[in-house]
Every structure is written in C-alpha cells, then in structure tokens.
Amino acid sequence: MPKSKLQKQTTVDTLVSGLKNAKGVVFANFQGLTVAETEELRKIARKEGVSVLAAKKTLVERALQAIGMTDSKAASFKGGIATFIGQDETTAAKIVATFAKKNNILSIFAGIMDGKLIDAAMVQKLAILPSKQELLGKMLGSLNAPISGFVNVNAAIVRSLFNVLNAYKAKKV
C-alpha cells in the first residue's frame, strides 16, 4: 500500500532531523536482503547507537535538499536506500562495511561527513579508522607511559634496596 503524503512528510522530517544532528551518515542499497538479514543489520546498528531509516530515493533527495545539499546524487542510486545515521564519524561506516563483507548484496552508495557528501570509497576508508574513543584511549596510554615508566623505575630501586637489606640480614643471622 502506498504511503500517504503525511507519512512521506514524516519520513522526510525524520531524515532531515537525523541528517542535521549526525556526524556520520552512510547510504546503502539493502534491496535483496532477507528479512532476517535486515533485522540482524538493524539490531547491530541499534546496539551501536546508529539509527537506520529506509526510504525511497525521492524522499532522501528531498531531505538532502532540505539540509542544503543540492549537489547530492541520491537520484542516481540504484535500489532502495537505507540511511544509517551515527553520532560519530566512523561507527555507521564500520557497521555497514562489516555487514557488506558478509553479505555481498548490501552495497554502499555514499555518505555524509562534516556536512559534506562523500563517495563510497571514502566511506570504506572511514570504516578502517579506529573510533574516536579508541584514539583517545591510545593517546591517554601514550601520555601515561612516561609516568608509569618513572614509577616503575623508582619502585625497582626500592625493591633492590629491600633485597640487599634482606640478603645482609640473612648473612648476619
């Protein structure tokens, strides 16, 4: 049954609000996936905090125009469009790219990062990058390394002194 104008406008409004607030967006063709595969993909996305919205090309095009992306190529996309809206730059790209490796049917069209349309190759590159949290953790570990090294050296000096005193004590007795 076709959607009413109100339903279509609601879909466009949902897309517009999601696209405005998102840091990373991926557009993918999901046609051909079984219901079980689609539900599995949605479950993985939901677990990672990525919202998924399926819409027709014309509705996606309207939403992109509403946020000021007049040069979008949504009309040239083939098949149904699933929009993956993430709150960070890499999560949506990682989810879609990982799922696309298992299921060759899913294909990436394009994405949005920092308010700019990016192509499928760039989305694939984003999927390889570590997340912001991982990068912050690595940086914190790098900042912490000299301090922990200093503490370990000082502890080794105290341990060595303790061992020498224990050896002297054992020799005296």
Q: Please tell me which residue, 79 or 81, carries the higher pLDDT value.
A: 81
Rounded CA-CA distance 35/24 in Å is 25
Mean pLDDT, rounded, for 11-20: 84
Each residue's pLDDT tens digit, 34-44: 889 889 999 99
Each residue's pLDDT tens digit, 44-73: 999 988 898 888 888 888 888 888 877 666
| pLDDT at residue 74, as a whole number | 62
Identify the CA nearest to 58 among candidates 40, 37, 72.
Answer: 72
Each residue's pLDDT tens digit, 22-34: 888 899 888 888 8
CATH number for the domain whose boundaries are 5-129: 3.30.70.1730
What residue ranges do the domains of the chain occupy?
A: 5-129, 131-173
Each residue's pLDDT tens digit, 90-116: 888 899 998 888 888 888 888 888 878
